[in-house]
Every structure is written in C-alpha cells, then in structure tokens.
Amino acid sequence: MKHIAYQSLKSFTEKVFLEMGCPTEEAKEASEVLLSADLRGVDSHGVARLNGYIRLWEQGRINAKPNIKIVHETPSTAVVDGDKGLGLVVAPFAMRLAMEKARNVGTGWVSVKNSNHYGIAGYHSMMALENDMIGWSMTNASPLVSPTFSTERLLGTNPISIAIPAAKQPPFVADFATTTAANGKLEVLKRKNEKAPFGWVQDANGKPTTDVDALKSGGSMLPLGGDREHASHKGYILGSIVDIFSAVLSGANYGPWAPPFVSFLPLREDPVGEGLGHFLGAMRIDAFRPANDFKAHMDNWIETFRKSAVTEENDRVIIPGDPEREISEQRIAKGIPLMDSVIEDLSQIGNRFEIDFGKYFKE
C-alpha cells in the first residue's frame, strides 16, 4: 500500500483517456468522475477499474469519441443515447440536461441507453447540489443478484444515489447498492480470507452460505434484507425499480441482458436494448419552497439526527454522506492509498500507452 497525490493520479488517468482517443474535455471529466470514487473511499469503483474500461474499449464495446444525443424529450424528460461512450461522460451529459430542464420547468428526468459503467452513482447526483437542486442517480449493472426465491442472476447491484443540499450542514448524500453488501465488500473479505455473514450471498441452489466465492460456483448476491424473514423482497423491489427506470424506460438492456463490465464475459446474442442504462434526475428546491427555508430545515433535520442518543457500542449517529466526505478530506490531504496490485496494473497501463506511471507516482 502506497499513497499518491490526487492531482498526480488524476493527471495520469487523464493522459490514459486521451491516449484512448477521448476528446480533451471528456478525458478530463472521465478522470474526475472515476477518481471521485478513490477520493470518497469507494476503491472498487475508482482507478482500480481503469484497466476494465480499457479492455472494453479494446473490444470495441466502449467508443472513445461518442456522439451523445437526445433521442426523445418533453419539457421535463429526455432519453439520451450514449453511443457506447464511457458512462463517466455520458452520465454527466444526462445530468446537465436534467438540470437544464429543472431550471425551465421545476424538475428534469433523463433515462439513458447505450452507455457503459458510470463510476460511482454519487458523483452525478452531487452535481445538482451547487445549483440548489436535489440530484438523483441510478444505473443498472452486470447481473449478479437473484430475486427473492430465485436462483438465477437477474439483477445488478443497481445503486441509488440521492443528494440533498443543506445550509450550514454538509449535504445529505445517499449512495448505496440495493444488495445487502456491495461487491467491493466481498472482495475485502476474500483478501482477508474471511467468511461472509449470512444474508450476503447464496449458493447455486439458493441456500444461504458464508462462502465469499459462492459466485464462482453459480451462486448469487442477495438483495438488501438478505432473506425473506428480513424482507429481501424489498431489496429485490429496489433493484428492479433501478433496472426498469434505467433500462426499460430508455431502451437499454435490462435484467439478465445487462452487459457485464468484465470483458471476458461475452455479450448476449439476443439483446433487448442497447448497452447499459442510467437514470438521472434533478429537482429545483425552489420549485417546492424557497431554497433558504428548505435548507434551514435540512440543517435542523440533520442536527436532530446527528445529536440523537446512541447505542452503547457506538459514538455517533451517521448522516448519509458523512463517511465519504471525511475520507475525501483525508485523501485530498494525504493522497490516495493504492494497493500494490493496483500500482502494478497502472504501470502496465502506462507501458501500453507509453506513459511513465513512475513519473506521476514520484511527483
């Protein structure tokens, strides 16, 4: 584990996207979006995935120079065709469009097809905050999750992010997978050689298991709730809603047809739509009540929850967004920690594009 300055890692990543053929502004935006995951402590979704994007680009599944366009719209809605672009640039395009519509008619809702992995959901929803808007962001993803009672992998970890501005308090930023545990948490357990708690995964027959490798032998991840007694049908519902809003509404591939992120898995030969789907939304606060009133009450809401009495084992009640913001502050100051395997990976990417990763690393 070594640390690298955020700006250095960003310059390197930007250079890689430029070498892939991304236009200057898009290379810049893609690296900012990708690295927002590393900053916020969601290491599974950051620069560790750069190689994955490159492999998809090499296979022609990602288009570095997409012609992103609006295919249908009304004053408050649109469907955007990402032209196989990086979700890292397609989603911000869609979010800007949602905010423009919110400026005009109060809210804006954009469903996106023909896109790819868009990094962390929270980056896109948070774009709304500085405009005194509430931001929404969802995406469907590689099918790894079984609905309650099923043994088939029909849904992704399908995250939902909603960002809500406050005044003196930092914003409320929800960003969560609709499964009990995100995939990254399973990877952490694997590395430590530990077992998973019951309720995270099931085996190929749909039996509860603590085997972190269950997915390799036909098992699946479990929806939030974990089992029927703990309302896993509600996690299944949430994942389904994300899938339908992101992909059925836009004309992307939904359910088991969602294209996998890993390039070694083939695309299905019977697609039901184009690429991966996202759903972005923006709601102008003052389309409901004066923004200052709302934000003052959000401060009160946040302070009430934050100062509420805690259980013996815990020292505070967490407001959604607190942990990620705190990690982000640390990492801006002290750099981004990279595992040796990620450093090795980035060096090889550097070699491939004739960029000296070591140079950035030393800066």
Q: Please give the residues from 60 up to 119 whose contact with its own copies meets the rule CB under 8 A.
A: 72, 74-77, 79, 104-107, 109, 111
Question: Do the Cβ atoms of 42 and 325 come closer than 8 Å?
Answer: no
Task: Among 207, 334, 352, 359, indicate the residue that binds its own copies (CB under 8 A).
Answer: 207
Query: Minimum distance from CB of 128 to its own copies (Å)?
Result: 14
Q: What are phi and psi of 269, to 5 degrees?
A: -85, -5
Query: Minimum distance from CB of 22 to its own copies (Å)?
Result: 28
The H or E element that residue 172 is part of is strand 172-176
Q: Judged by CB under 8 A, does residue 150 bind its own copies? A: yes
Query: Contact region for its own copies (CB under 8 A) — 48-56, 204-212, 261-269, 347-355?
Result: 204-212
Nearer to its own copies, 53 or 254 (CB): 254
Q: Judged by CB under 8 A, does residue 183 bind its own copies? A: no
Nearer to its own copies, 13 or 209 (CB): 209
Q: What are phi and psi of 279, to 5 degrees?
A: -140, 120
Taking residue 263's Cβ as centre, other Cβ atoms within 10 Å add up to 18
How far, in Å, are 18, 164, 235, 269 from residue 263 at the CA level? 21, 35, 27, 15
Taking residue 103's Cβ as centre, other Cβ atoms within 10 Å add up to 14
Residue 101 CA, distance from chain mean position: 23
Query: Minimum distance from CB of 83 to its own copies (Å)?
Result: 17
Query: Minimum distance from CB of 121 to its own copies (Å)?
Result: 13
Task: Among 21, 197, 271, 358, indicate the residue that binds its own copies (CB under 8 A).
Answer: 197
- Going by the DSSP 8-state scheme, the letter that residue 145 receives in this structure is B
What is the rounded CA–CA span in Å between residue 317 and residue 125? 23
How far, in Å, are 135, 162, 346, 356 from residue 276 at the CA level? 20, 20, 26, 33
- Going by the DSSP 8-state scheme, the letter that residue 169 receives in this structure is S
- How many residues at the interface with its own copies, by CB under 8 A? 81
Q: Judged by CB under 8 A, does residue 293 bind its own copies? A: yes
Task: Among 149, 265, 271, 341, indicate the residue that binds its own copies (CB under 8 A).
Answer: 149
The residue type at 228: R
Task: Among 89, 94, 128, 154, indicate the residue that binds its own copies (CB under 8 A).
Answer: 154
**Interaction residues for its own copies, span 303-342 (CB under 8 A):** 304-305, 308-312, 314, 316-318, 320
Task: Among 34, 164, 212, 280, indicate the residue that binds its own copies (CB under 8 A).
Answer: 164
C-alpha count within 13 angstroms, C-beta hemisphere, residue 249: 23
Task: Among 16, 30, 145, 162, indicate the residue that binds its own copies (CB under 8 A).
Answer: 162
**Interaction residues for its own copies, span 1-60 (CB under 8 A):** none
Q: Judged by CB under 8 A, does residue 255 bind its own copies? A: yes
Q: Judged by CB under 8 A, does residue 126 bind its own copies? A: no
Query: Minimum distance from CB of 127 to its own copies (Å)?
Result: 18
Q: Look-up: residue for tokens 């002290």?
A: 334
Task: Report the Cα–Cα distance between both ends of the chain, in Å, rounded.
Answer: 17
**Interaction residues for its own copies, span 222-241 (CB under 8 A):** 224-226, 229-231, 233-235, 237-238, 240-241
Q: What are phi and psi of 233, to 5 degrees?
A: -65, -25
Query: Contact region for its own copies (CB under 8 A) — 31-39, 118-126, 251-259, 339-347?
Result: 251-259
